[in-house]
Structure formats: structure tokens, C-alpha cells
A and B are shown apart, each in its own frame.
Chain A
Amino acid sequence: MEEQKHFKHPSFYPGDAPETEHPFSLYISVWILLFVLSAFSYAVDLAEIQGYLRWFLVTVFAFLKAGLVVGVFMHMAWERMAFLYAIMLPPLFLLALIGILAVDGAFVYYIRDLFMPLVG
């Protein structure tokens, strides 16, 4: 019975604890922030910024927005670390894939650039 009581304690599921209930105002400010960041990304296109600066800005705004959605809307900011790392670390493996494909892609482009004009 002691055990049962322990498992049903509200703090056992931090996600359900009252202190993680947030006022609407928090969501509305995040909402506005998401609009502003989207507008910034859109402005990058309208201003016709090209090259590395464009890619850099677009990526930064995307990750800022993603952080807000995951952290606040999906409540990850209030989850325990054990859960946060279990969910957030595995997708980092994609960085390895991106790195490998970028190196390989550059090589394939180089080869095609050399030989495809010859083949026609």
C-alpha cells in the first residue's frame, strides 16, 4: 500500500503537476514570436538576400521557431532531463547523415560537372 501511494503522488508525473499549467498569455506571446520569426524568414526572401547569408538566416529562424514550439507548446522545457535527453538526442544522428551526404554530394557534383558536358 505504501508503494501504491508513492506511485499516485501527483508529483510523480511532473507533466500533470499544477505548476506546469501556464497562463494563456505565455502561449499568446510565443504565438506572436512565431509570427515575427516567420515574417523575418519571409523578409529574407522579399529582400532577395542570396548565398550563405540567406541560408544562415533561414536556418537560424527555423531553429528558433522549432525551439519555441518544442520547448513551450510541447512542454519539453518542463519535462525531466531523463525524458528530455531520451527524446532530443537521437535526432542529432541526422547531423552525421547531413555531414556525410554533404561531402558525398560535393564529390558527385564535381564528377558530374567534369563529365556530363562531355556526354551531352
Chain B
Amino acid sequence: MSNNQTVSFEHTIPDNLKGLVADWSSDVQTFRVRWSKAMMWIFLVSDTFIFGSFLCAYMAVRLTTIEPWPPTSEVFALHVGGADVPLLLIAIMTFILISSSGTMAMAVTSGYKKQRKKTAFLILLTALGGLAFVGMQMFEWSKLIFEEGIRPWGNPFGAAQFGGFFFMITGFHGLHVSIGVVYLAIVAKRVWDGRYDKLNDYQMVEVAGLYWHFVDLVWIFIFAFFYLW
């Protein structure tokens, strides 16, 4: 039976450009999710490899430096009330990013319940969290550049490669957060305008949420491997 079907299938679809299009557009679906979600996930997998390569390169360089690696918990300390609190700013940034991930998860749920205003509000709150994160990162960068004298090619604390990896990895992550803020602002506007109510479909909120959670996910690993290791 199935053999017969295969034969007839091969005979009805020609092996030329037309056939190529037919093959690719035939009603075969592997992933039972919508294209928007599948494509965002596939993009995130590719992004995983970018950040993964950065962190692997960082590991490879850190393994090979003869000079000691700068003591991150002292380099990133914040001077509060006459004492240096190690990694304080990073802890606050982590707190903000995790919170923004939480509000985004709630926005997705509100979206599926088709609560227009609540969804828009929660997405906007998430974007504001992202904005606060980028602002603190700017503060951190200017402190390291102007006060501590850290450069991509050297620094007073130890191995010269530290600055290059720090600026590349956190810079690329910060770029993702900044793009995410713009992306979320656009989605919030569209939710507020009732675009997804008209479509009767809030899937795009979930897709935007995937991107935002990924940004949080990357930060978890940067926090662990760059700041704490």
C-alpha cells in the first residue's frame, strides 16, 4: 500500500524547479508549532552558538594565560558607605533582568487570556527593566574605562586579554538587551493598538517573550562564567 503511494507520488511531482517548490511546500509539518515560534527558536539556537563561541574562546584564553586573571570580585566591586561591596552592581543587574523575565512570562499568559491593557502594561514594564539594565551597564562600563583604566588591550589588574573579552561579551549582550527593548516597545504598542485583538491571536507576544527570556538566559551564563568563575 505505502509502496504504491510512494511510486505515484514520485510520478505526479516532476523533478524540476516546479517539483522543488512542490516538495518544499507540501503539506508536511514536523514541528507542531507555528512558524513564528519555530523560527524564533531556530534564531535563538544560532544565537546560542554565537554566545557559546564567545564563552568558549574566553575559556580557552583564560586557560592559557601565564599572568593571573584579574580578580573579578574586586574589579567589579562597588564602593558603598566606605566599604567595597563585591559584585554589588552585577547583583542588582541580575535582579532586574530576572524580574523583567518574570513580568514577560506574565505578559505572555495575559496575552493568551486576551487581556489587552494588562498585556501591554506588562510588556512595557519588561522593556523598562531592560532599559534600567542597559543604563546600569553604561555606568559599569564608564566606571571601568575612566576610573579603573581597563582597555581591550590591557589593564592594571592582570592578564591583558581580560578587557577584550569583557567588552566583547557584555557589549554583545548589552546590544541584545537594547534591541530587545526596542522590539518589546514595538510589540507593546501593537498590543495597545489592538492589532492582536483584531487578529484574535496573541502568538507574537509569546515569540517576543522567547527572545527576552533568551537575553536573560545568556546573562545567567555570563554572570556565572565571567563574573563568578
Contact = CB atoms under 8 A, between A and B. Distances in A.
Could you say which interface size class chain B belongs to?
35 or more
A35 B45 contact: no
B146 interface: no
A69 B101 contact: yes
Interface string B23-62: 0000100111110011001101100110011001001100
Contacts of B48: 91, 94
A42 B109 contact: no
Contacts of A112: 64, 66
B49 A28 contact: no
Given A70-B217, A101-B63, A41 B56 contact: no
Interface string B101-113: 1101110010011
B98 A24 contact: no
B59 A113 contact: no
Interface in A18-62: 21-24, 27-28, 30-31, 34-35, 38, 41-42, 44-46, 54-55, 58-59, 61-62
B220 to A, nearest CB: 5
A12 B112 CA distance: 16
A112 B105 CA distance: 48
Interface stretch (B7-15, B150-158, B177-185, B221-229): B221-229
A41 to B, nearest CB: 6
Q: Which 9 A-B pairs have the closest CB atoms?
A: A105-B63, A62-B224, A31-B102, A108-B64, A101-B60, A94-B52, A27-B105, A73-B213, A58-B228
Interface of B: 27, 30-34, 37-38, 41-42, 44-45, 48-49, 52-53, 56, 59-60, 63-66, 73, 86-87, 91, 94-95, 98-99, 101-102, 104-106, 109, 112-113, 203, 206, 209-210, 213-214, 216-217, 220-221, 223-225, 228-229
14 contacts: A13-B33, A16-B34, A27-B102, A31-B98, A42-B91, A73-B101, A74-B213, A91-B45, A91-B52, A97-B53, A97-B56, A105-B60, A105-B64, A109-B64
